Every structure is written in C-alpha cells, then in structure tokens.
Structure 1
C-alpha cells in the first residue's frame, strides 16, 4: 500500500472518529429544553417576567425575599417555572439562574449577582440535582437557607444548622431513595427531608424525560403542586412575612 493511500485511510479514520465524538457529545450533553408551552403559561400568572444578566426573574409586586435557583445539569432554567411560579405568586422573587453550558458548578456565585441586584431582600439559594450541589456550597459558605431538589451537598454539612429543605422522589432513577437517604446524612442537622410519593428526577421541572430516570407515578401537575406547597411551607417558616429593613440584612 503506497503512502498516499495510507494517508487517505488515516484521514478517513480520523474524520469518522471525530464525527463519532461530536455525535456522542451532542447526545449526552445536549441541552434539556423547557417544553414549548412553559413561557406562554407565565403570561397568566400576574408576575413580572424579566430577563436579567444572571437569570430569569419571576417577580411579584412586593417581594419579601429572594429565591435564587440553580438548574440541573444541561436543563434550561425556564423549565422550573411551572414549579416555582406559584412560589413567586405567594410573594417571593424567584430567579431562575443562567449558568455557562448548563453547568451550575461553573457559576457558583451567580446567586450573589441576583442578590446584588436586590440588596434589600434576604436570600435563599436552591437547586435541582447538580444545581443543588452548587447551591449547597454557596449556602454553607454564606450561611444561607438552602432548598434542594433531588440533590445533596458535596461536603458534609451535618454539623451545620442552616435552615434546609431537601425534596426527593420515590421514583427517581438517577438518585434512588436508598442512595438519597444515605446522601441525606450530609445535610445540616436541622434539615427537613421529604420523599414525595410518585415523583421522579425529571418531575421537578418541565423538560421532558431524562435518560436513566423512571416514569412518574402521579400526574406531574399534582406533583408540582406538592413541591410548591413544601417550598412555601419552608419559606414561610423563615419568618419573612414582610420585607426587613435594609439595615437588618447581611
């Protein structure tokens, strides 16, 4: 076989390999988009929906606190609007944070950018799945209340007393209940841990099925109401019925 033919075969093999890598990357790293109906549904909520450099704001008229929420890996932030819009309607400014390449760990400080834009509001940080890991790290460092959806802290926070709500699903295929219970040992000692019956991993948002997950066993609208109720109970327990004066804030 002559040199030209060898070079041609090498070039073809390299091209096929590169195409395969790109194809696999697209398959495994493709963004999980919010379902098309979600943005339109926000129009009837009475909320001011505003794009900001740090994320999408869902704002009531007189917010009493700020919930900055990190999305799960590769999930479009808008996908969490159906779950968290009722929280905003109840008086909390919800910011669905934008993160580079859909990876919250690349923008752990993003919640503080939202806080800087609303300095008079106390801050709660939350996140779904990998987004919860980023939220937990920031909450531990800044001593903030923490909200987790199908997530847990990377570090052991069991010695902390941060107000924490951790929601898990009994049908989660990516974080099954047995594993979730074990990981929950890392949560702050005062954490409220809830396993919602029939909920899966992707059921925390509206972005369709997720690879490796199990089907939900309840209508997702029912599950979304249950999630929102738990979140509101947690936020109300923090005692922010009215906005505190600026001098009372950290």
Structure 2
C-alpha cells in the first residue's frame, strides 16, 4: 500500500471516528419525562386553561390570555397602560427543552408569558443571544431572563451584553459567568440543599458577580434535576422532597420576584 493510500485511509478513519463521536454526543442528553411531553401533546385540549401554548422552530411560548398583569395610570392621561411581564428561559446543558414545560406552564398561569428557548445541541452557551428572537417578536412584554444550570450562565452572558433588554435575571442552580454587579437590574438565585451537580466553590466565588440587588433563596430538600422534568442527573443527590414540591416552591419564589419588578 502506497503512502498516499495509507494517508487517505488514516484521514477516512479519523473522519469516521469524528462522525461517530458527534452522533453519540448529539444524542447524549437528558430526555423529558412523559408528563412534560403529554402537556404539549394535549395542547389542543387545554381550552379550559388561561394559558395558550404555541411552538416555533426556536421556542415554546406560553401566553397568559388575560393581559392584566399590572395596570399603571399616568397623571398626564386617562388611558390605562397594561404592562405584561414575562420570563425567557434557557434550559440546562444537555437537557431537552421540553423538560421545563410543566414549570413554564404553571408559572404562566400566575399571569406571565414564558418562553422556553430551543438551543442548538441542547446547549444554551452556543447561542447566548437567542433571547433576541423572542424580545423582537414580543416587544410588548417586559422581559426577565433566566435559566437552569448552564442555561443560567448563558443568560448572564446575554444580560451582560444586552443590559437594556432585561428587567431582571433568574438563576436556578446556577451562577453568572459575567460580572453583573454594576448592572441596575434585580436578580434571583434559587438553589436546592441536596444539589450534587452545582459547583459550590464556583458558586461562592461568583457571589460578587450577581446583581447587587439579588435575592438568594434555598429550597430545603431540593436537588439539581428537580428544577425540570427529566431523568436523574449524573452526580446529583437524591432529593428529600418530591419533584412537584420543588416545582411548586420554585414557581412561588419566581412569582413573588416577578411581582417585585
């Protein structure tokens, strides 16, 4: 066999290995639990709910039908101004976006629009600016951005680069990659006491990077994976509360936070 043929064979073998590795990597992510996908499958049967769900190539949108979040009356006009608030949500790393459907729907039922962003390869860090698609499409909403785990870190990059586009930021088992302390927005951090995935050392070292006006909340018994509806996450601890209980506490805390903005 000539050197040229040998080289071609080596290159072909390397490309095959890369292709196989890529396929394995792309398919190696946390799938949504049936409960989450059933909500989407039954979307057309939700006529009794006050939330409509629409899905595009880039996001799932939960719209609260009664546009009455906050009513402000100006001194210069008798016209009422209805201001909607919403949360743009970046999924955790290698977690299917559908896993957050139950959480998003329950939060939307409290009176907010919620958008779960679909990320390439299920990694929000690849496209941190994707929130712009929602903001431009739904410019009548005052947006707060947030995310779970790596998604929260990606959200911090978006806020750092676009401080005028977000009224607040929410971290679920996450912390900022960029320094947000000089940006005049409110922040919210929620962490479970049984979280085995969150890097506690990095979290503590990032405290100074959170917005100065940040509320830190702890869910007793909560873990990392129970912020969504997907399988047990490698490295996590078993929670001592149910997934439903952690979801309920998370929604209550975020609801209170959004009301304060």
Establish whether TM, by shorter chain, passes 0.5. Answer: yes
Question: Aligned pairs, how many?
Answer: 232
Query: Secondary structure of the residue that 2:131 maps to in structure 1?
Result: helix
Checking the alignment, whether the CA contact within 8 Å between 1:168 and 1:180 is kept in structure 2 is no
Distance 1:154 1:192 in 2: 18
Deviation of 1:164 after TM superposition, in Å, equals 0.7
CA distance 1:18–1:171, change in 2 (3 Å): farther
> Matches of residues 8-27 of structure 1 in structure 2 within 5 Å?
22=20, 26=24
Checking the alignment, whether the CA contact within 8 Å between 1:169 and 1:177 is kept in structure 2 is no
Aligned to 2:77: none
Q: 16-25 or 176-185: which moved more? A: 16-25
Deviation of 1:29 after TM superposition, in Å, equals 6.2
In the alignment, structure 1 segments of 5+ residues that lack a partner are 239-250
Candidates 177, 180, 205, aligned match of 1:157: 180
Q: TM-score, normalised by structure 2?
A: 0.78
Aligned to 1:245: none
CA distance 1:36–1:15, change in 2 (3 Å): farther
Deviation of 1:22 after TM superposition, in Å, equals 3.6
Task: Provide Cα deviations, 1:30-61, integer angstroms capped at 9, x if missing partner.
Answer: 12111122132354572211112320111120
Candidates 163, 170, 176, aligned match of 1:142: 163
Aligned to 1:38: 36
Considering fraction of residues, name the structure with more strand. 2
Checking the alignment, whether the CA contact within 8 Å between 2:163 and 2:183 is kept in structure 1 is no
Across the aligned residues of Structure 1 and Structure 2, the Cα RMSD in angstroms comes to 2.7
Instruction: Note if 1:108 corresponds to 2:128.
Output: yes
CA distance 1:108–1:28, change in 2 (3 Å): closer
Aligned to 1:247: none
Query: Secondary structure of the residue that 2:39 maps to in structure 1?
Result: helix
Distance 1:128 1:155 in 2: 16
Checking the alignment, whether the CA contact within 8 Å between 1:35 and 1:207 is kept in structure 2 is yes
Aligned to 2:75: none
Question: After the TM superposition, which parts of structure 1 deviate over 3 Å for at least 4 consecutive aligned residues?
Answer: 14-25, 41-45, 176-179
Query: Secondary structure of the residue that 2:144 maps to in structure 1?
Result: strand
Distance 1:223 1:52 in 2: 28
Candidates 209, 223, 236, aligned match of 1:200: 223
Q: TM-score, normalised by structure 1?
A: 0.82
Aligned to 1:225: 248
CA distance 1:49–1:207, change in 2 (3 Å): same
CA distance 1:169–1:29, change in 2 (3 Å): farther
Candidates 50, 53, 58, aligned match of 1:49: 53
Distance 1:95 1:71 in 2: 11
Distance 1:196 1:66 in 2: 23
Deviation of 1:62 after TM superposition, in Å, equals 2.9
Deviation of 1:73 after TM superposition, in Å, equals 1.0
Checking the alignment, whether the CA contact within 8 Å between 2:192 and 2:218 is kept in structure 1 is yes
Aligned to 2:70: none
